[in-house]
Structure 1
Amino acid sequence: MIDGQILYRDFFEFHPPLGFLITAGWLTLFGQSLLAARLLMVLVIALIAGLGYSCCRMVSNRPALSATLVLAWSVSVPGPWMQVNHHWFTSLFSMLTLWAVLRAEGKPTRLSMAGLAACAAALVTTHRGGMIALAGLLSILSMRSVRSLTIYIFSGMTLASLALAYLWSQGTIMAAFDQVILYALNHYSNIQALPYGAFMDLQMMFGVLSFPLAAALLLLLIWRKGPNCICQQPWPTLILFAAAGLVGCFPRPDAVHIAFCAVLVLPLLAGTLAQLLSAGEIRPLWRTLGLVTIFVPLPPLAIAAVRSTNAPRVETQAGLYGVVAGGGILPLLKHLQTLPPGDHIFFYPADPMLPFLTGRRHPARLDMLLPQYSTPAQYKETCRQLMQEAQWVVSHVEITRPDFYSAVFPAMTNPLPPEKMAFEASLDAAFVHVGTYDGFQLMRRAAADVALCDEIIR
């Protein structure tokens, strides 16, 4: 987008536009570097934590407990996912919505902020943001104020109208509908199903356990004090947003996606604990939780810190890059820097960091080709584009193998569909191998011909 490509026209995406606009705007202002990208995420995650603390303190009036819960959530997110990611933006706007609703008190400014933030969440991640917008709507309905409801809806519709105006100015309204709505409905969830908490380790345990723990404490509160105790605000709002966070983990509720959403359940945890325990009883609880929060994730955090410190580094177009995992990346990046500057490199099947690090244009509308996720038509279209424009191909061999897909996408029934096999056969026929770098292969254009793509059946 910074180079002038049009979202949904020049490249394919099934997410709404706001996350791309935020990232492109930030990198335009502060430079296309790893440092700028990291600073963006530091800012976003810090804002999420700050809003989470404020919400917890509002409903519990327990500063230490609130800080401990937010700290526990913060360290539960694994390091590799501290990245520019649409889920972080969605969590930020979700927490801003919750914070604004809790502090609304009939104030138009805060109700407007809630509507804008809820719509912004939906304009970043459709299903998660949609659940947040619905939770905000139901929360305001429970206030029984037509004026508050009008302000919330009007504010959200204003931002939605601006997004539509942007798509109209780009001439991509229909393309956005096809990709964000129709494609996501028909092709997204079919390979995503996982058990709740899949791939959990010690570091991510708190996030995974936070939702069932909150549910158990809420039931205990109802049993002790009766159902009427949760009928008044802020309880309906806390329950609605916690439920939105839980539903937002699906259709892929692995430990990582839960970690993104778990911040929404922290205020409910804080509120129930404050109601169930007296000030004297809650003090040893938050101290114990604080110690566990610090020491349980300590081994993986310490290992990650040592690996990062000792990682070999290479200078890239995006700045100094430390290679923590994947030994082949270092020599591969060095080799790619020696290629002619104008050559286009096709990265297969999914390596979105490599175009950013190398400063190379990925000569295809798609940056990801996955079995039973990408359609035969997309395989064929991508094949034609790379035959016409790509001088080189970088293949990440590990994630083209069936065992990788079986581990990461256990719901995938056929990791070797005909279109994938035909696509890879066309690559082998059109490009010759010039080097192997651990799990990566570099291929050079030799006999590329669009006719080779005819074997891929639509």
Structure 2
Amino acid sequence: MLFCGLLAYFAHRVLSIIYINYDVGLIPLGSDLLLRGGLIYRDLHTVMLPGSYFMLAAVQMLLGRTEAVCQATATLIIVLSAVSLLRISRIFINGWLVLLPAAMLVILGSNFFSYNSHHWDSLFFFLVFAAILLSYLEQLEDRPVLLVAAGLAAGASCLCYQNQILPVLIGIPACLYTMRMRSVPDRKILRAALLLFLGLALVAVPFLIYLTTTGTLNDMLDCTVGFVLGRYGGVNGVVYGFFNGQDCLMSDLGFPMMIFGSLPLGLIKLAPLIALVCFLVLKKEPRLILLFAMASGLFVAELHKPDLRRLLLADPLFLVLVFHYAEHLRAKWKSVHYLINAACYGLALGLISLAQLYLLMVPADAPLYQTRRGPVRAVTNLSVLRPLNKLTSPDEKILVYPYDTGLLYLSGCRFPSRYPVLHYRYHTAEQFKSVIADMENSKVRYVVWNRLYDNANFSEMGFPEYRPVPAEELIMEPYLKSRYESIKTYGFYTLLRRKDTN
């Protein structure tokens, strides 16, 4: 309980101060759209399945549409994910090593949250699914309520982003296979399978009903399948373990901390290989087979962009395997006992060092901004919100270009089209033109131009495969320069006003 409390404090402390907010508004914007009466996919072009939107909308309906509610919900999801991982770890690991997977998930995950905030809900539900199967594996066939609960958690993980359809489709057959290994009667195995899929159906059927009754099935397929297969990969390609913040991180550390602080980051990259080698070499029992199968599925599901921030979300179950095998080898081979101990103590020291660094990066006395979503503290410069609050009315349509979903959400304004994110290589010329047409129809008065993520700088912001579009092929920039005038620049943001505004 004390350990979980410390993790909760750390996550709250880091997440309560906005460090960089470009992606953290993705889910709040969708939630806000639902609460306004809009429809996902018809009114919001998103690659995400809608589970996270509906979940946050339900919370905000009860507690209010404020940034504090969003931050508290995110903190709760991260901490509950760590609790689920800790539950799994206790099955396989003894002693103090049991704490390390959950500690890595929270300490690194809280800092990475601004970049992968929309991936956490699916991870949480999948870890709940895995925890149920692994905790009660030897009696699962006789626990129908747990089987349905596991199916519900699996279904929820498939309806959030990054959807866990692949690891669920691997985990369920692997679970049934381990039942056969334990000589469970075929009748009970069949019943267990039906109950698991019943839980899945209780989530999938309402989703299909929503799509058919709202007429958004084709829009959903276009966003989540067509767009991803056709446009996503060309922009998001990175080498394995890519981390554009590593040079900055290492330059902030003193020499001893640099050594230890790099150990957790290195383990994230190596955990799948270490776990694979140990799994192939050492003895396999049903629980380990199931854990390895689900770990492999979770890992592959995040490989669409295998940068370090997403690998953290791909590796939790592999981390459990790594520390399980570390403990096993430490007890079996005395010759490596001290080496493994030194590595584990170094890793723990590295986590403490990184935790201290992250707390320094988000000081408690960070500037306070009054927004339409309540007061927020932020390290990033959000001064542009002050004139926006004075110049715009609540719910007014503004364009934040090319994107900053966090800023757009905090402004309390709406986006003028289906596209809160609009960027070359991602979106087609026709989509750019449709946004311009919507802006003309709505007579959008104000635009916030985020220069940090524009066409010239995008490749340096975590998208190394992005190639800037030549000046003669630009679409939005000439339009903005012809129809809007600059008011003032606030950090990376330039506030523009429509020239024919009274």
Shift of 1:303: 2.1
Gaps of at least 5 residues in structure 1 are 449-458
- 2:16 corresponds to: none
1:335 aligns with 2:367: no
Q: Secondary structure at the match of 1:310?
A: coil
Cα gap change, 1:278 to 1:33, in 2 (>3 Å): same
Q: Which stretch has the larger CA shift, 72-81 or 153-162?
A: 72-81
Aligned match of 1:23 in 56, 76, 81?
A: 56
Q: 1:301 aligns with which of 336, 358, 364?
A: 358
Q: In the TM superposition, what whole-angstrom CA distance separates every residue of 1:385-431 from its partner, at most 9, and x where no partner exists?
A: 11222111111122114233255212123444765x12211111111
User: Residues 160-209 of structure 1: CA distance to partner in whole angstroms, max 9, x if unpaired?
Assistant: 11111122232212211221222222111121111111114566752552
Residue 86 (structure 2) aligns with: 53
Q: Give the SS at the match of 2:420.
A: coil
- Matched position secondary structure for 2:390: coil
Structure 2: segments with no counterpart, 5+ residues: 1-33, 181-188, 251-260
TM superposition shift of 1:267: 2.5
Which 10-residue stretch deviates more, 116-125 or 38-47?
A: 116-125
Contact kept, 8 Å, 2:275 with 2:318, in 1: the verdict is no
The AA in structure 1 aligned to 2:107 is V
Closer, same or farther: CA 240–211 of 1 in aligned 2, 3 Å = farther
Aligned to 2:406: 353
Structure 2 residue 301 is the aligned partner of structure 1 residue 258: no
| 1:453 alignment counterpart | none
Counterpart of 2:462 in structure 1 is 408
2:168 to 133, 139, 147: 133
Q: Please, what TM-score do these two structures have when normalized by structure 1?
A: 0.87
Residue in 2 that maps onto 1:318: 373
User: Relative to 1, partners in 2 of residues 1:4 and 1:417: Cα closer, same or farther, differing over 3 Å?
Assistant: farther
Instruction: Determine the structure 2 residue equivalent to 1:7.
Output: 40
Q: Kindly indicate whether structure 1 or structure 2 has the higher relative contact order, using CA contacts under 8 Å at least 6 residues apart.
A: 2
Q: C-alpha displacement at 1:277, in angstroms?
A: 2.6
Cα distance in 1, alignment partners of residues 379 and 314 from structure 2: 27
Q: CA deviation at 1:348?
A: 0.7
Partner of 1:69: 101
Amino acid in structure 2 at the alignment position of 1:248: A
Instruction: Give deviations 1:282-312, integer Å, cap 9, x for gaps.
Output: 995697156424433145224214xx32322
1:96 deviates by 0.9
Match of 1:365 among 402, 413, 418: 418
- Which whole-Å CA distance do the structure 1 matches of 2:208 and 2:92 have between them? 37
Correspondence for 1:151: 195
Cα distance change of structure 1 residues 247 and 208 upon mapping to structure 2, 3 Å threshold: farther
Alignment correspondent of 2:239: 195
Distance 1:13 1:364 in 2: 12
Letter in 1 for 2:170: A
Alpha-carbon displacement from aligned partner over 1:345-371 (angstroms, at most 9, x marks no partner)? 111111111222121112121011111
> 2: CA distance between counterparts of 1:373 and 1:210?
28
Whole-angstrom distance in 1 between the partners of 2:124 and 2:65: 22
User: In the alignment, residue 215 of structure 1 is paired with which amino acid?
Assistant: L
AA at the equivalent of 1:114: A
State the Cα distance separating 1:278 from its structure 2 match. 2.2
Q: Percent identity?
A: 21
Aligned length: 435
* CA–CA separation in structure 2 for the residues paired with 1:140 and 1:30: 39
Pairing 1:95–2:153 present = no
Among residues 473, 476, 481, which one is paired with 1:428 in the alignment?
A: 481
In 2, are the aligned partners of 1:37 and 1:84 still within 8 Å (CA)?
A: no
- The 5-angstrom pairing of residues 437-452 of structure 1 reads 437-447=490-500
Question: Is the aligned partner of 1:117 residue 2:156?
Answer: no
Q: 1:84 to 1:235 in 2, by over 3 A?
A: closer
Number of the residue aligned with 1:344:
397
- Post-superposition shift, 1:79? 2.3
Q: 1:213 aligns with which of 266, 271, 279?
A: 271
Q: 3-state DSSP class of the match of 2:213? A: helix
Report the more deviating stretch, 101-110 or 248-257: 101-110
Matched, 1:81 2:113: yes
The separation in 2 between residues aligned to 1:205 and 1:377, in whole angstroms, is 46
Taking a change above 3 Å as real, the CA distance of residues 417 and 238 of structure 1, as seen in their structure-2 partners, is: farther
Q: Distance in 2 between matches of 1:220 and 1:237?
A: 15
Please say if residues 164 and 298 of structure 2, whose CA atoms lie closer than 8 Å, have aligned partners that are also in contact: no
Please name the residue that 1:168 is paired with.
Answer: 212
